[in-house]
Chains A and B, each alone.
Chain A
């Protein structure tokens, strides 16, 4: 009965109710949009990094620290015998990396050269392009970001100078076979890809690798003195850390939006308690306890949010649809920052469980904010109320 009464009161409130519902709905649309953006960004980054670099697991040489360029020179170790059957069967992809200097058009720049077997099916990388032909030039593949920074194009010839593992300089002439769109920045920025056997030869590191990529978690427990397993949490640690920082800003934004919406609800409720004091008195005279009257007002406030839940998908549909189908891409120029997951168009997916939590939180806040002004009712004398007096 209270629910029916509350529903009728909201409808009778007319424009005032509609404004509240629309305000809450707009707040919810923004919150859902932000939630979907962060969720889709991280999901895309995870997919891209897995497809292009991590696979379903990675075994990395202990000396290698991707954040310490000084460690690259010593980032190699013999391929463990236990992995060789996996390499032959295609379950394991060995990758060797080395710091190098490249000379595109006679300019010197630092680069990381990575060697990958020309036959592998775990990563999306078209490694068959690394097959050496009859020419003396070593074919290499680079990503678009690398092409941009080095001003190299497909067909360009340049020299790669590298130190072998004993410290002597070696140099080869290479030809850019393909410039690829590589969505994983760590496999693109500053990186030149060439055939593993060729890199092992010029580096004097036969049968050595820097890391291995797997297509499942079979080698999760593998560890030896040279290599250790890198789980997803460790591999994506920087991405998750970046997300955590963004989340903090997101929470601040949420708090501001919710605060604004709740002010609207609180204001409406406070005004309602004042304007409807005769009604409160009548209800009390009819036998409504103060608690039930407070419940009625709280329900009315909460119903705004319930209506907003219904209105949100209707109002937000064009926006939600646009970002789900057309997507969001960071403006040109900003993609130079090479942030994981932001190299490609982010098409939004809407995480229903996270959105449901957001809705519940908003519901709880609305209930509290709707209840706060009704505390006056507890102090109300029904006779005074009938006379139109509120303390």
Chain B
């Protein structure tokens, strides 16, 4: 009887889920992922062919355009800061006490030897602005019911021509993503293995980024703590912060 009652109660949601469009799914994902402001303590572990290396950092972001992060460990990287303002990216190296702007070919290089490039960090996260979404089917991934969404670039200037994502039906979080080149070659995969409730949204807190062209086990990105939609002082996102 209890089971029947639950089924009757869930019926409208299930019907709704059946009729949902790809755009609505992606919009919901965007709503989950894009924050007004955030502050997070992050660990990034790079698993290269020979060894693993963990870096800790504190990251601040404001909308899509502004982000600031400072490396806290290991000692070699401690004090390194990165600032993203719109399309510009600066890095401060405490060893030389200099800030350099990362542009051109340097944007293709990996961030601290990880599977992420500076360009990936600069990527626009509003998926629907850049991609045409198509619902390709459903799949059970990592024990959870997911939609398979294929995203195709709307314009020629988008870095990854095609993406495929498994979106958690319940939490509207991409649990697995594939990023493709124009030629159809798989370039990167992202796996979210832990999703937590943060404020009133679901947020992936443990992810593995993998450059599929590179050997190695990828880069683990673990968010130890995150605060969302908090008030951040404006000076955090200024070049003056790099040398502070």
* Chain A residues within CB distance 8 Å of chain B: 69-73, 99, 101, 103, 105-108, 110, 159, 161, 163-164, 166-173, 202, 204
Q: Closest 6 interchain pairs by CB?
A: A106-B215, A70-B104, A166-B156, A171-B181, A171-B185, A103-B213
Does B159 reach chain A (CB closer than 8 Å)? yes
Q: List 10 A-B contacts (CB under 8 A).
A: A70-B106, A73-B105, A99-B108, A101-B213, A106-B49, A110-B105, A166-B156, A167-B156, A169-B187, A171-B181
| CB-based contact B161/A168 at 8 Å | yes
B109 interface residue (CB < 8 Å to A): yes
Q: Determine if A170 and B157 form an interchain contact, defined as CB atoms under 8 angstroms apart.
A: no
Question: A338–B28 Cα gap in the complex (Å)?
Answer: 55
Mark B155-167 against chain A: 1 for CB-CB distance below 8 A, else 0. 1111111000000
Contacts of A169 in B (CB 8 A): 159-161, 181-182, 187
A103 CA to B216 CA, complexed, in Å = 12
Label chain B's interface by main secondary structure. Answer: loop
* Beta-carbon contact of B214 and A170 below 8 Å: no
Min CB distance B131 to A, Å, is: 12
Q: Is the CB of A166 within 8 A of B216?
A: no
**One of A72, A105, A164, A167 near B215 (C-beta < 8 A):** A105
A70 touches B105 (CB 8 A): yes
Inter-chain contact total with CB atoms closer than 8 Å: 81
Nearest chain A CB to B229 CB, angstrom units: 31
Q: Is B110 an interface residue (CB 8 A)?
A: yes
Compute how far the CA of A250 lies from the CA of B35 in the bound complex, rounded to whole angstroms: 65
A70: chain B residues at CB < 8 Å are 103-106
Closest chain B CB from A206 CB (angstroms): 13
Whether a CB of chain A sits under 8 angstroms from the CB of B153 is yes
The interface size of chain B toward A, counting residues with CB under 8 Å, comes to 26
Residues 132 to 180 of chain B near chain A (Cβ within 8 Å)? 153, 155-161
B183, CB-defined interface residue at 8 Å:
yes
Q: Is B211 an interface residue (CB 8 A)?
A: yes
Cross-chain contact A159 with B213 (CB below 8 angstroms): yes
A108 CA to B210 CA, complexed, in Å: 13
Q: Hey, which chain A residues are within 8 Å of B214, CB to CB? A: 103, 106-108
A168 touches B105 (CB 8 A): no
Which of A71, A103, A163, A172 contacts B183 (CB under 8 A)?
Answer: A172
Known: A73-B105, A159-B185, A163-B108. 15 other contacts (CB 8 A): A69-B105, A69-B106, A70-B103, A70-B106, A101-B213, A107-B215, A108-B211, A110-B109, A159-B213, A164-B182, A166-B155, A167-B156, A168-B181, A169-B161, A169-B187
Q: Are B156 and A204 touching (Cβ within 8 A)?
A: yes
> Which residue, of A72, A105, A168, A170, has the highest number of chain B Cβ atoms within 10 A?
A168
Majority secondary structure, A binding face: mixed
Question: Are B156 and A168 within 8 A (Cβ)?
Answer: yes
The residues in B between 95 and 120 inclusive whose CB is less than 8 angstroms from any CB of A are 103-106, 108-110
Enumerate chain A residues within 8 angstroms of B108, measured Cβ to Cβ: 99, 101, 110, 163
Bound Cα distance from A171 to B160, whole angstroms? 11
Q: Which of B103, B110, B182 contacts A170 (CB 8 A)?
A: B182
A161 to B185 alpha-carbon distance, docked (Å): 10
A157–chain B nearest beta-carbon distance, Å = 12
Instruction: Establish whether residues B216 and A106, one from each chain, have CB atoms under 8 Å apart when the complex forms.
Output: yes
> How far is A316 from B215 in the complex, measured between Cα atoms in Å?
58
B160 lies within 8 A of A168 (CB): yes
The answer to whether A69 and B104 touch across the interface, beta carbons within 8 angstroms, is yes
Most central of A71, A110, A169 by chain B CB within 10 Å:
A169
Chain B residues closer than 8 Å to A167, beta-carbon distance: 156-159
Contacts of A173 in B (CB 8 A): 185
Report yes or no: A170 in contact with B181, Cβ–Cβ below 8 A. Answer: yes
Q: Is there contact, CB below 8 Å, between B105 and A108?
A: no
Q: From the candidates B159, B211, B215, name the one contacting A168 in the complex (CB within 8 A).
A: B159
Q: Could you say which residues of chain B place their CB within 8 Å of the CB of A103?
A: 213-214
List of A residues within 8 angstroms of B159 by Cβ: 163, 167-169
In whole angstroms, how far apart are the Cα atoms of A161 and B160 in the complex?
A: 12
In the complex, the chain A residue whose C-beta lies closest to that of B211 is A108
- B104's partner among A73, A105, A168, A171 (CB-CB below 8 A) is A73
Do A99 and B105 touch across chains, with their CB atoms under 8 A apart?
A: yes
Residue of A nearest to B49 (CB): A106
Select one of B109, B157, B213, B215 contacting A171, CB under 8 A: B213
Q: Give chain B residues whose Cβ lies under 8 Å from the Cβ of A172.
A: 183, 185
Complex: A103 Cα to B110 Cα, angstroms: 13
Q: How far is the CA of A69 from the CA of B109 in the complex (A)?
A: 13
Min CB gap A299→B, angstroms: 64
Known contacts A168-B182, A202-B183: A108-B213 contact under CB 8 Å: yes
- The residue in chain A whose Cβ has the minimal distance to the Cβ of B215 is A106
Interchain CA distance A159-B181 in the complex, whole Å: 12
A172 to B183, CA, bound (A): 7
